[in-house]
A and B are shown apart, each in its own frame.
Chain A
Amino acid sequence: GEDVEQSLFLSVREGDSSVINCTYTDSSSTYLYWYKQEPGAGLQLLTYIFSNMDMKQDQRLTVLLNKKDKHLSLRIADTQTGDSAIYFCAENPSQKLVFGTGTRLLVSP
């Protein structure tokens, strides 16, 4: 079945790196996504990775994909207080997305 799992909470200090992990179940997903939700706002696409890639880097963001283990991670370098938000990973077994439970990232000064 479709199931995407994430840890619920991560706390880091400003300037440290953050790593948010996700496991998914559907190996047919073409893309895997990371969305960010700030308080009181909708989800915003942060980055994505094509399923035949192992890694994608986009400025402070690094996405790692381990297809064998169905494991996806998002690394945020030099984490800032403005990065505090909920981060969702999502797989797309079809046109619809299956979202994880979300990881709340808290960045303290």
Chain B
Amino acid sequence: DAGVIQSPRHEVTEMGQEVTLRCKPISGHDYLFWYRQTMMRGLELLIYFNNNVPIDDSGMPEDRFSAKMPNASFSTLKIQPSEPRDSAVYFCASSPTGGLRFSEQYFGPGTRLTVT
């Protein structure tokens, strides 16, 4: 398996523009997580899905952030409009359902977002 795939790997955009980050989870994994990592805040969970349904979006910072999972193999995280304080590395992770190690998560390589 190729692992969790994220695109783009790097994104530079101007303040006010819409940004869309993409993620393909590992095939067969039923859970998908979006994280944000910054020096100041560390690793923050933004939202997670189970079987394409959002379960907990309490970490989404503002209404400018939205996430979707239209099918089992694809998810997007959108920021509209973007602001400089959104600059961070965004990670997607997936995990399988069931079994004893149900919470073992596999991370993608991340998207480094810079908003100028």
Chain A contact residues, CB within 8 Å of chain B: 30-31, 33, 35, 41-45, 48, 50, 88, 92, 94-97, 99, 101-102
Contact = CB atoms under 8 A, between A and B. Distances in A.
Given A94-B103, A95-B102, 8 more contacts: A33-B104, A42-B93, A43-B105, A88-B43, A95-B103, A96-B45, A99-B43, A102-B43
B107 A31 contact: no
B95 interface: yes
Main SS at interface, chain B: strand
A48 B104 CA distance: 9
B109 A42 contact: yes
Interface residues of B, number: 24
Nearest to A100: B42
B110 A92 contact: no
B105 A97 contact: yes
A92 B48 CA distance: 14
Given A42-B107, A95-B31, A95-B50, A31 B101 contact: yes
Contacts of B31: 95
A33 B102 CA distance: 12
Closest 8 CB pairs of A and B: A42-B107, A92-B103, A43-B107, A99-B43, A101-B42, A42-B109, A42-B110, A42-B108
A43 B105 CA distance: 9
Given A41-B109, A42-B108, A31 B43 contact: no
B100 interface: yes
A88 B37 CA distance: 13
Nearest to B107: A42
A86 B104 CA distance: 18
Contacts of A44: 107
B106 interface: yes
> Which of A41, A44, A48 has most B Cβ within 10 Å?
A41
B14 interface: no
B103 A97 contact: yes
Nearest to B41: A101
